[in-house]
Structures are given as structure tokens and as C-alpha cells.
Structure 1
Amino acid sequence: MLKSNILFIINPISGGKEKHTIPALIDVHLDHAKFNANFSFTSYMGHAAELAEEAANKNFDVIVAVGGDGTINEIASKVSSLGKILGIIPFGSGNGLARALHIPMNAIKAIQIINQLNVQRIDAGTLNGKYFFNMAGIGFDARISAAFAGNKTRGLKGYITLGLKEVKSYQPEHYELEIDGVKYERDAFMLSIANSTQYGNNVHISPKSLLGDGLLEVCIVKPVSLYKLPLLAYEMLNSKTHRSNLVEIISGRRISIIRKKENSVHIDGEPFFMGKNIEIAVVPGALKVITSMK
């Protein structure tokens, strides 16, 4: 039986978690009858994508992201375009895509999932030509992603602290939307474009989203007063936003958004600065990924 060449690309700073012992852990628990293992550590933003492309061109069959949603995005964007298989060992702050794929947060159990090599195809989205696999966003969550990128305190605690600080001064914005040819105008606290159900940490903005249904969900979080934020948080944590008066969810394949001014967006949690016009589309079955789902 031929072994598959597998590369583990490790982001040493994602989620604020130490990872220098990960290669040894993988060496113990990986099925070496199935895989020839190699390891690379990232050194800068964009390095994971470079390593993934190089590995794909060197005939690596499986490329594993050891990090959070941003690391996964860099690697998955290359894996998808080059027809390889993505694996995930979650080590981010939220791990939204890994949770949606039912990949364990425990590293040893995640390695055991890779050993099973159960591969499924999932959709991707594009936002102004950039791939996303879990979630993209405009508005408040994009502002937080931009601020968090420069924050020294990583992990969930740092994200929550920053969010509570920024929400006091944030003002909703006006958006013109077109979803599969139907036009809408909305004032919104934020717009989340969902491929999976959640941002991460089991915070669900779009409980009915499916990774392989050929659709994206536009989640319009309405302007909300500070005293209603705990209710919104409760609904997200209990997967109730599809029945919420605070959130409107519209499914579609092609989405256009016009905002008043250029500003930040986030793509799988990573911030980008973009113009007023945003074009979004679903790419059905774009990514082959190892998952525990049957």
C-alpha cells in the first residue's frame, strides 16, 4: 500500500498556544503505515500559503493546518486550487471551521481523525476574489478583527475584552444589498456571510447553514442597543438566531453589497481593507477536507 505524503504547517502564535511539542505529538499518534510526515513552521503572514503551494507542487497529497481559521484559510485557498486534501488540527482562538466539521479540539483526537482519512467536499465563498471557508464579515466584527490583529493578548479572553471596549463607540451603517437578484436596503450592526453555522467557540450566527449545500447565508445583525447585547449573545450561544428579532438571515449564491465608505472586512477572521463595493459568491464543492463526519 502506497503511503501518502503529508505536510503539517504549524502556526506558532495562533490562539496564543505553545506548539513546539506538536511534531513529537504527531510522530507518536500519526499512522505511519499510511503517511510520510513532514513539518514546517510559519514565520510571517502569508507564509502558510507559500508553504502549502510549495508542498502541493512537490507531490504532497495531504496538507494539514495546525492553527486557527486564518491559518486554515491561507492553506485551504492553495489546497483547493491545486486539488489536494486539507487536514486540520485546531489551535486557534475560535476554531469555527474545525468545530463545524466536528473535528475534536484535543490535538491527539484530531490526529486520529486524520488517520481515518475520511474526505468530504465542502463549499467555499469568495469575497472580492478572496476565498473564505467559514465566515466573512462587514461591520462590527470586521472592526474587531482589524483591532485584534494588532493586539498582544491572543486567545478568546483578548477577543472578548477588545469587543467590549469597541462596542461602546461603534455606530451601525447603511447597506444596499442584492442577493440572487433581489434588492434590499438595511441598517446593520454587522453583516456576516456564513458558510458554516458559527464564528467559533460555539457562537452560532447561522444555525441552519450547511457546508455543502451550495448556498451562503447573509446574516444581518440589526442595530442593537447595549442592553440587548446579552440577549443576542444568548441566542448565538444557544443556536437560536434563525428565530431572533435581532437577526435577519437570507440565503443566496451571489451577493452584492454597497456601503457608504471603504473600510475593513474580515475573511475567516483575518482583516482586509476594501472599497465600498463587495462582491460575494459561493463555490460549490471547492475544498476536499478530512472530517469526522460520515
Structure 2
Amino acid sequence: MRAFTALINPIAGGGRATRHWAPVAARLATAGADVRVELTRSGEHARQEAQAAAGAGRVVIAVGGDGLVRDVAGGVVPGGGLMGIVPAGRGNDLALALRLPADPDSLAELLLGAEPRTIDAIEADRGTPGSQGTAAGGVIVPGNVYAGIDSVASEIINASRWLPALVAYRLAPVRAIAGWHPPVFTLTLDGVTSTLRAHTVVVGNSGRYGHGLHIVPPALVDDGLLHVMTVGAGPRRAVISFLRQAGHGGHVHRPEVEIRTAREVTIAADRPLPVGADGDGLGRLPITVRIRPGALRLIAPPPEAHAT
């Protein structure tokens, strides 16, 4: 039987993470599983605890939102371990992409008996050797890395934790638009460099962010590719209609939207924009991201058949 270490973010979901975890833990314990719990104190603490538990052969469960999932993955990958997720944050976008069940019984059953699957991960290198995530200095990101109006909005969301999640995620882009001027980005995709004035650049692995937006619809967590979406500069008012369409993926047909694929991408801009990664910040541009195929082992439903 699997042994579990649950890392719980005590502020995730407005402090609801422990309540989300309790019924899942009860079902795991009833089944006879060895279950341990650790409250996380910081992202670095989560990574360290995850790596230690993974190295001991325990399944490491991230009980929180996308930020904690990112931090736990940053310890599980170098630890060569197996990861589980109990969605308990405000966004839970990777859980949505993986089609994780929401009810405790189904989650516990999945954690106890499902076959592990592997997904790709982004490694984001901020150019600071020895920093968090991997020995090479990169940060492991299971979902997406982005810079532009959405990363500015992400900073606003993280400063507004007192607001209900859906309200915060929908108001933040409106606030970010105020005074916004699209920068000139310099992108290098697999060694080929181009420049463009744009509102945002999203490098997608899962393709979902912002509390359910299907922002990069072609992105798959197991195709070995980065899907790079750029949204060219246009009227600021168009950002609102863009967000409405992004709820169902219709924005990809807009003329200012382009999606390309690569295995390594460097993003720079003519001013020091913030970089977002699964809901949390990664400092300022420039940044280089690369795909690590099959880097993360986790417990999740089997992948859906991909159209050919």
C-alpha cells in the first residue's frame, strides 16, 4: 500500500485547504494507508519537504492551489518521486487540465489505486545558478509561464486574497489595463529570434490558467512541446472581449493571436515585466524556459485520446 505525505498550504483557498484535506485523509486512513501531514511555511520549505518525502519513497500530495502544486513538483522531480494533488486553492487549473475529481471519495480512490502517469514539465531558468527547483538552477513549472498584462494581473490577484476567487480573477485584468502600454517583446524559439509589440506571451504546458481560462487550447501536458501564444498589441478595450472568448478557447481565432511550438524559449522585453508561473511570480524578464518531457510522475486519471 502507498504511503503518503500531504503538504498543506494553510492559506490556500482562503484557509480552506485543511478542510478539503480532512475527508480525503480519513478515507486513506480507513483503507490502512500511512498518512503524514506537514504544513508548508514557504515555497522553499514545500520543495524541501517534497524532495525528502519523494526520496523516502512516499507519495507527496500537494493540498492547495497551483502555486503549491508548482512548489511540490519542484521537489518531486529532482527527488524522482510520485506526486498527488488534492485541489484546494483558488484556481486549481492544473487539476482541471488533468480532470481530477473533486469529491473526497473519488480522490481517495484515485490516490490509493490509480496507475501513475507521466507529464511534461517546464523548466524556467532565471539565470541564477543554484536557485530553487533543480540542480541546474531552473524552476519546475507543471502548467504555464507568462509575461505581460496577465502577469501584471497575477500580481494584483495575489495582493487581493481577501476577494472571492472568481471576482479577483475577473477584476484583476481590468485593473491591469489601466495605464497599460504593450511592450516590445524579443522571443527566441529554438534559436530563431523575432520581435513584436504585444499584450502578453504565454508559454503553455497545461494551457489552462486564470481560474478556468483555456488560454492555450492546443497545449497538452504530454506532447513534449511548449505551445507559445502571443497576443499582439491592439486597443486595450479588446482585452476584455479576449478574456470572454478565452473561457471557451474562441480567442485563438482572433487576428492578433498566434500560437507556435518550440522546445526552448527565451522571453525578453524593453522593460522589466514580471513573470508569472502557475499563479505565482518568478521575478522579472528575461527568462528562458525549456520543456522536460515526462519529467513529472503523478497520480491522475489516464490521458484522454488525442485527436490525430
TM-score normalised according to structure 2 size: 0.87
Runs ≥4 in structure 1, deviation > 6 angstroms?
none
Distance 1:109 1:191 in 2: 36
The structure 1 residue matched to 2:176, chosen from 159, 163, 166, is: 166
**Which residue does 1:70 correspond to in 2?**
67
Match of residue 197 from structure 1 = 207
Range with bigger deviation, 78-87 or 165-174 = 165-174
Pair 1:10–1:165, CA change in 2 (3 A): same
Which residue in 2 is equivalent to 1:130? 139
Unmatched segments (≥5 aa) in structure 1: none
CA distance 1:106–1:157, change in 2 (3 Å): farther
Deviation at 1:264, TM superposition (A): 1.4
By how many angstroms is 1:66 displaced? Answer: 0.5
**Pair 1:91-2:100 in alignment:** no
Distance 2:77 2:160 in 1: 30
Q: How far apart are residue 17 of structure 1 and its match?
A: 4.4
Relative to structure 1, the CA distance from residue 163 to residue 230 in structure 2 (aligned partners, 3 Å threshold; closer, same or farther) is closer
Contact residue 17 and residue 91 of structure 1 kept, 8 A: no
In structure 2, give the amino acid aligned to 1:115: L
Check whether the contact 1:235–1:244 (CA below 8 A) recurs between aligned residues: no
Tell me if structure 1 keeps the 8 A contact 2:53–2:59: no
Question: Please, which runs of 5 or more residues in structure 2 have no aligned partner?
Answer: 126-137, 304-308
Q: Which residue of 1 aligns with 2:276?
A: 266
CA distances 1:131-185 after superposition (whole Å, capped 9, x unpaired)? 2110111111211222333334252322322332221221111011121233221
**Mapping of 1:8-47 within 5 angstroms?**
8-30=6-28, 32-33=30-31, 35-47=33-45
Name the residue aligned to 1:55. 53
Give the superposed CA RMSD. Answer: 2.0
Equivalent residues, number: 290
Q: Which residue of 2 aligns with 1:292?
A: 301
- Look up the match of 2:115: 118
CA offsets 1:33-76 (integer angstroms, 9 cap, x no match)? 4731111112334322122123234x142100010110001101
What is the TM-score normalised by the length of structure 1? Answer: 0.91
Q: Does the CA contact (< 8 Å) of 1:262 and 1:273 recur in 2?
A: no
Say if 2:52 and 2:79, in contact at 8 Å, map to a contact too.
no
Structure 1 residue 214: Cα displacement: 0.6
CA distance in 1, matches of 2:248, 2:161: 30
Q: Distance in 1 between matches of 2:141 and 2:41?
A: 22
Q: CA deviation at 1:251?
A: 0.7
Note if 1:222 corresponds to 2:232: yes
